[in-house]
Structure 1
């Protein structure tokens, strides 16, 4: 069987991971976070970064133990049990299936602010139709185009921060270094954690590099380092950008919370910059949604091929296009929920699945190293027990900090997964089919 050649270095893998996270999303969700935290967005990102670093360490430990594709699904299946692994995979499916919906909803919110005469649902439908058509035909963006899109995002972010600093320079009463964006007069931990639960949406994808295992040099060492660095670098970007934006626009009052950065861009840079910002954000959201839908449809196809989902529906490729058309159309159908949800609820709903998977990965470290591997000693106590426990507690706290509707929808999704697992395993009497993620994600 042919194998991929290991050519990727640590830097290449880190760049892939940061690109997958779509850094410009920090601006796309700024208003939602400002409202949730009462104008303390950087504090929410700091809390999210600390929580995600503990989880990233656990992902790194499991990637070193099992250098295979499948991420949370494979780690939990191998370290704890196949049935709990299925639940981890079900949680991951929630991310992949609903992520395009949230991405397109954010893009539509900003286009709606720029063109108020066009109803926002029209933009949502346009995103769904265009990206679905491209994915069905099978057109893939070249690496050079992806690199160009990344460059555009970073240029927009850099320009946004530079204009924020220039804007602040015109007001001698506002210092460049202040704790105000973190405290806004007082420290409200429940509000900050509520914001952190949403802010973690920006970190989704830090574990995606585990799918590059076969293509990475010395993956047992490189992939764990990359996962940690991607989380750290991404967190620093989110923290730095949100700090200066919050300084430039203190508080949480906006004409439209879902497209707050559009309003801020106009204040700090005028009409010309707001146009450039809008182009950068919408292009970034379009490319991200295209990739997310492609990944989600491939995951559904893999689940159908391996008979985890009905093979007659999901396990089929189009004879004409060579793409999983049924799976792509299902992703498009699910995305229609964006017509009834707002950005805050949609991102929180997706985070429910992420936090559940993150929790199980932290648990997997304890099972694999501390319980089954019987790792002992002071270092093992900290690395294989205390750190994953802290990650587990942080992830569970973040779940409880999500808005009530998101928790309710997430609980329904989890219950459906348990019912489906019971049917798939004949009342839990046999093991569920094993998925082959090598070509799924």
Structure 2
């Protein structure tokens, strides 16, 4: 079987996919964001994380429904294309492409910054090249190796986060909190502050949708992927909220010398400088696992768009005949690390949010449209209209909370996508490239059949 027509190998289990999703979200991120979320929410960080979890679960349920109907790689791009049409799908895929091209770079940059703090003699750019090179090599070798490495690193990252929680609990044993309910609600908190903090916390959940890009590499995907999407948000959200609650007990209120490094300062408080250096390893290890998962999903989106002919098929739409991985797509995402060699973290993260929240909104809209077209007794009004509508309202609100830079970059990228679509369709005189039966060895037929099946 040639690499042009060979399909992705179905090797991943539910546990594997959930672990990839959790790695993508990075369990230690709660320690990084705690100070900002706590100061914004009036000292109720766990409540903000719970609100963010509930809000993102609305969109996760929409992804789960689409994954059940269309179990292929491509995530939001594939769902919108099948429901709202090729042009809408292309533009959503183009916006998501902005995220998926730069997210690996952001993950490597975060990890490299923390490694540079630990070992200042090695510059950030050197760590960037090393991290990108190792991650790319693991992903090229195959999804089975990436799965094993990801499970190990994610388990280590979670262990270090739980170790930090244990030290916090030991600290609390000698410093009785004044109130166990104040971290949830207090006289300084309010709906405006909590909702604003929840919008900040929502950035922690970016990537839960990435597990849908692994549909064609997952066993029993039409059942496994929907469960994985919801589990990733639920497990990650509850972990964030629980850790934030313990941290808020250790440091009650919303006043911090520097909210950006509150987690690191707290590590020194509960365990000393040596322990703080070890908890810093949670971010480093989690960063490598996140980079691994992010690059894996990014390459699958590029492969899906290349296979459709939206991107050059000869470059992006091929799999290596032995490893069954999209090697050229992986090399491209690996090369994106070069864009992060002379860029700060704040600027880098501004690239990724516009496309993600726009894609979330489009997937919620797709569920409603799918319900209108395929309405039957198994497609309930609550799950297919009310929930996705609420989800779309939440993600639209999150778009309005983005910085001016993020909105500008996103709109410029969208304009470039419209121009490319115009050229691709020769002024919309030709149809947008679609998935063919020959290239997917029957997948498209399965999609149409699943779309008609409750």
Per the normalisation by structure 2, the TM-score is 0.81
Q: Which residue of 2 aligns with 1:85?
A: 89
Structure 2 residue 182 is the aligned partner of structure 1 residue 179: yes
CA contact (8 A) 1:193 1:398 kept: no
Deviates more, 1:194-203 or 1:275-284: 194-203
Alpha-carbon distance between aligned partners in 1 of 2:27 and 2:104, rounded to the nearest angstrom = 16
Aligned positions of 1:236-315 closer than 5 A:
236-254=238-256, 256-297=258-299, 299-300=301-302, 303=305, 307-309=309-311
Of the three residues 144, 165, 168, the one matched with 1:164 is 168
Alpha-carbon distance between aligned partners in 2 of 1:46 and 1:32, rounded to the nearest angstrom = 16
Superposed displacement of residue 367, structure 1: 0.7
Alpha-carbon distance between aligned partners in 2 of 1:305 and 1:8, rounded to the nearest angstrom = 21
Measured at CA, do residues 255 and 417 of structure 1 come closer, stay the same or move farther in structure 2, by a change above 3 Å? farther
Structure 2 residue 62 is the aligned partner of structure 1 residue 95: no
CA contact (8 A) 2:62 2:364 kept: yes
Aligned partner of residue 29 in structure 1, secondary structure: helix
Q: Which residue of 1 aligns with 2:444?
A: none
Superposed displacement of residue 71, structure 1: 1.4
Alpha-carbon distance between aligned partners in 1 of 2:414 and 2:105, rounded to the nearest angstrom = 19
Alpha-carbon distance between aligned partners in 2 of 1:316 and 1:218, rounded to the nearest angstrom = 23
Aligned partner of residue 406 in structure 2, secondary structure: helix
Aligned partner of residue 366 in structure 2, secondary structure: helix
Alpha-carbon distance between aligned partners in 1 of 2:209 and 2:109, rounded to the nearest angstrom = 24
Measured at CA, do residues 374 and 312 of structure 1 come closer, stay the same or move farther in structure 2, by a change above 3 Å? closer
Aligned partner of residue 174 in structure 1, secondary structure: coil
Q: Deviations over 1:262-302 (max 9, x none)?
A: 21111111123112111222122123224424543564466
Structure 1's unaligned 5+ residue stretches are none
Aligned positions of 1:1-400 closer than 5 A:
10-111=14-115, 122-123=123-124, 125-135=125-135, 137=137, 138=140, 141=145, 143-175=147-179, 177-183=180-186, 185-189=188-192, 191-254=193-256, 256-297=258-299, 299-300=301-302, 303=305, 307-309=309-311, 323-324=327-328, 327-328=332-333, 330-336=335-341, 339-342=343-346, 346-347=348-349, 349-369=351-371, 371-375=372-376, 380-400=380-400
Superposed displacement of residue 254, structure 1: 4.8
Deviates more, 1:290-299 or 1:143-152: 290-299
Aligned partner of residue 434 in structure 1, secondary structure: coil
Alpha-carbon distance between aligned partners in 2 of 1:9 and 1:302, rounded to the nearest angstrom = 21
Aligned partner of residue 207 in structure 1, secondary structure: helix
CA contact (8 A) 1:346 1:406 kept: no
Alpha-carbon distance between aligned partners in 1 of 2:286 and 2:32, rounded to the nearest angstrom = 10
Q: Deviations over 1:118-158 (max 9, x none)?
A: 69xx32x1332112333565466554433221221121111
Measured at CA, do residues 368 and 294 of structure 1 come closer, stay the same or move farther in structure 2, by a change above 3 Å? closer
Q: Deviations over 1:202-244 (max 9, x none)?
A: 2223223324434545433332222212211111111111121
CA contact (8 A) 2:218 2:224 kept: yes
Superposed displacement of residue 314, structure 1: 6.2
Superposed displacement of residue 10, structure 1: 4.1
Structure 2's unaligned 5+ residue stretches are 442-454
Superposed displacement of residue 414, structure 1: 2.3
Q: Deviations over 1:53-85 (max 9, x none)?
A: 111111111112112221111111111111111
Residue-pair matches, total: 427
Alpha-carbon distance between aligned partners in 2 of 1:131 and 1:110, rounded to the nearest angstrom = 12
CA contact (8 A) 1:197 1:402 kept: no
Could you say what the CA RMSD is over the residues aligned between the two structures, in angstroms?
3.5
CA contact (8 A) 1:314 1:326 kept: no
Q: Which residue of 1 aligns with 2:406?
A: 406
Deviates more, 1:143-152 or 1:291-300: 291-300
CA contact (8 A) 2:72 2:213 kept: yes
Superposed displacement of residue 394, structure 1: 0.8
Deviates more, 1:409-418 or 1:80-89: 409-418
Alpha-carbon distance between aligned partners in 1 of 2:408 and 2:16, rounded to the nearest angstrom = 39
Alpha-carbon distance between aligned partners in 2 of 1:62 and 1:363, rounded to the nearest angstrom = 11
